[in-house]
Amino acid sequence: MLDRLAPQAPDALLALIKMHRDDPRTDKIDLGVGVYRTGQGDTPVFAAIKAAERRLVDEQDSKSYLGPEGDMGFVEALMPYVFGEANPTMGGRIEGMQTPGGTGAVRLATALAKAAGVTRVHMGTPSWPNHAQILADLDLEVAGFSHACPDGTADLDAVLSAIRGAGEGEAVLLHGCCHNPTGIDYTPEQWDAIAAALAESRALPIVDVAYQGLGHGMEEDAYGLRAVLAAVPEALVAYSCDKNFGLYRDRVGAFYVMAAEGGQLPAILSNAAALARANWSMPPDHGAAAVRLILRDPDLTAQWLDELDTMRTRMRQVRDRLAGAGTAGSVDLTPLGIQNGLFSVLPLSKDQIAALREDHAIYMAGSGRINVAGLTEANIDKFIRALAEVTA
Residues noted as catalytic: 128, 208, 210, 243
In angstroms, how far is CA 66 from the centroid of its own chain?
Answer: 26
In angstroms, how far is CA 272 from the centroid of its own chain?
Answer: 21
- Cα–Cα nearest to 266, from 92, 72, 390: 92
Q: What are phi and psi of 298, to 5 degrees?
A: -55, -35
Q: Strand, helix or coil at 54?
A: helix
CA–CA distances in Å: residue 105 to residues 73, 158, 213, 324, 333: 17, 26, 18, 37, 33
- Cα–Cα nearest to 222, from 175, 153, 156, 171: 175
Q: Which residues of 341-352 are buried (b: 16+ CB within 10 A; e: fewer)?
A: bbbbbbebeeeb
Q: What's the one-letter identity of residue 20?
A: H
Are 154 and 184 in contact by the 8 Å Cβ rule? The answer is yes
- Cα–Cα nearest to 273, from 83, 74, 115: 115
Strand 235-240 and strand 204-209: the pairing is parallel
